[in-house]
Chain A
Amino acid sequence: MQNDIVVKARGVKKSYSDNNALNGVDLDLRRGQILGLIGPNGAGKSTFLHAVLGLLESEGSLEVMGLEPFKNRHELLKKVCSITDVAVLPKWMTVEQVLEYVEGVHPEFDPKKARSILSKTNIKNKSKIRTLSRGMTVQLHLAIIMAIDAELLVLDEPTLGLDLVYRKEFYSQLIEDYFDGNKTILISTHQVEEIEGVLTDVVFLDKGEAVMSESIDSLNQRFLELRPFADNNEKAKSLNPINIRSELGRTVFLYEHMDIDKLSSLGDVRPPFIADLFVAIMSQSNESGGQS
């Protein structure tokens, strides 16, 4: 089981002169998981992903496939791929040149696969990257990443600034053509609703700390959302929900560790969306923080 751990973080910290970006993050990422790192701006998501990729030095214990990332970045990047910003491919290069370059420096890159993926797009081999739209540049980047036989893929807001069509395409391509049980994906995004269907696990990050780390299955069992019928609101309230919110004129109650049979007689019951759960957990944590 130990061999299955791809990323192991214990008390990972990173401080800048004016703030603590990471405040002791604990996290385990296992082979085959697609883990979503969810958090507000400034929660430390990018900092953590950059630490995983060895792009910055952090304190605490951080192992990626048994290697300390910052000291072994070169070795690590043979097994780890990443998209950590949108449209960062060198604009002066042609598509063919960038494929040749990656082929020359990456032992696990399959140029035939990349060309085959690109042949299904509007991207021409002779095109200069600066002439591609933002969406096409990300498509090209994804084609390169998908043609690398890496064990871990790290994606930091990979679709930021793209329109809906490209975002949908990005994730469907990622899951249908790339992901198999042996690959592991660590992803952070603001557009949680777009990826929650593909995630196997989530970690909620706030103020540089992991405030919750669960599998989606476990979350679905642990949390339930109730939209009570009109006259059941008081009954629902009496069952100690952890969060109450309004949605299109209806009140929505969120429960933790609640028997589904108790709720189903009161209204519509379903597992919460991750985004809603995140907001609820954050407000709960802020309240308890405020009280303490």
Chain B
Amino acid sequence: MKVLITLVKRELQEHKVGLIYAPFIVATILSLVIVLVYFGVADIQTKDFNFSTSVYENGQAVEWMRAATVDQKVAVIRSGLIVLGFPVAFVMLFAVLSYSLGTFYEERKDKSIIFWRSLPISDLETVLSKVFVVVFVAPLIILPALIFLHMVALLSASIYFAVSDIVPFTWIWNAYSIVDWFRIIFSLWMQLLWSLPILAWLMLAGAYSRKPIVAAVLPLVGVIAIERVVFGSAVFLATAIERLQPWSLMSSFPKQYEELRVVEIADIPLLLTTQDFWYGILISVLLIGAIVYIRSRSEYSSVE
């Protein structure tokens, strides 16, 4: 356990900008925008969207909320909070993609692989610790950022509605339960396990190539082109896109599993009952095995 904690800590220290700072920066910017919007310091006025920044000028919204039932109010606030969390989760997903591509490349580039491999940590442990970071740790790290963001939003909304004579305290804080925060994290875990073949593929490209982006993209483009020319189909492309889709930020699983709603936490494990999920895991295991094999035989090949 001590070793795992040390390995994870090391990854977070190295990738603190993408995995830790970036989600917090996005959450902080969003929080500022919320405060500015609610308290009338800024305006958001577009052709299709009109949200007055002044409490007393936005009579229509206030009237609607006054007339709405408690359930309607809760639904509005809850949807708003979920949407608010998207940018934070998107930043995390982007950071995870970038981390996957760079993690085995960087250690070869700066030759630190020589130091890492001089210590009693097996290649399997190292590789699994990195997979653990991208799948399980990265989503957990955004939890404080999400909680902070949602707290700012709820507080701002409470004050906003309170001064508009809509007593918020009886319902607004019920709109977003603690379970929802963990539902987001849980769905992100499942999302990253679903996308693991892509992440492992990026890691593999970084583990052997001097140009990991080219090594990651070119073979995929080749397969897609060959499939199109020979079979006239695009199954591989569709599968790749499906694996990359951030479905956890939407309301349902990828297309053929639309009946499995992820809104409720209890539905999420249903993905585990699908064949495609386990095909993905199997491919990921093979790719991770290849990374371990390549790293164990790296013989300090420099990428300079």
Interface residues of A (CB under 8 A from B): 50, 53, 55-57, 73-78, 81-85, 87-93, 97, 100-107, 141
B296: nearest residue on chain A (CB-CB)?
Answer: A73
Contact A55 B300 (CB under 8 A): yes
What's the count of A-B pairs with C-beta under 8 Å? Answer: 74
Give every chain B residue within 8 A of A73 (Cβ-Cβ): 122, 296
- The answer to whether A55 touches B119, judged by C-beta atoms less than 8 angstroms apart, is no
Given A85-B111, A88-B111: A105 touches B121 (CB 8 Å cut-off): yes
Which residues of the partner chain B approach A77 to less than 8 Å between Cβ atoms?
Answer: 118-120
Quick check: A74 and B122 within 8 Å, CB to CB? yes
Known: A85-B111, A88-B111. A93 touches B122 (CB 8 A): no
Give CA–CA (A87, B6) in the complex, Å: 22
**A55 vs B115: C-alpha distance when bound (angstroms):** 12
* A55 contact set on B, CB distance < 8 A: 117, 299-300
Report the minimum CB–CB distance from A39 to chain B (whole Å): 19
Chain B contact residues: helix, strand, loop or mixed = helix
* A1 and B125 alpha carbons, distance in the complex (Å): 36
In the complex, residue of chain A having the shortest beta-carbon distance to the beta carbon of B111: A88
Shortest C-beta distance, A113 to chain B (Å), equals 17
Given contacts A104-B2, A104-B5, contact A78 B300 (CB under 8 A): no
For B72, list chain A residues within 8 Å (CB): none
Q: Is B60 an interface residue (CB 8 A)?
A: no
Residues of B within 8 A of A (CB): 2-3, 5-7, 9-10, 13-14, 107, 110-112, 114-122, 125, 296-297, 299-300
Distance, CA A97 to CA B3, complexed state (A): 14
Residues of B within 8 A of A106 (CB): 119-120
B122: A residues at CB distance < 8 A: 73-74
The answer to whether A91 touches B110 (Cβ under 8 A) is: yes
Interface pair B115/A78, CB less than 8 Å apart: no
> Which single residue of chain B is at the shortest CB-CB distance from A109?
B119
| Inter-chain contacts of B118 with A (CB < 8 A) | 53, 77, 81-84
**Once the chains bind, are A90 and B119 in contact (CB under 8 Å)?**
no
Does the CB pair A105–B111 fall under 8 Å? no
Give chain B nearest CB distance to A199 CB in angstroms: 23
- Measured CA separation A73–B297 after assembly (Å): 12
Partner of B119, one of A57, A100, A102: A102
Q: Does A56 lie within 8 Å of B110, measured CB to CB?
A: no
Which of A78, A88, A107 has its CB near the most chain B CB atoms (within 10 A)?
A: A88
Contacts of B300 in A (CB 8 A): 50, 55, 84-85
Chain B contacts of A92 at CB under 8 A?
13-14
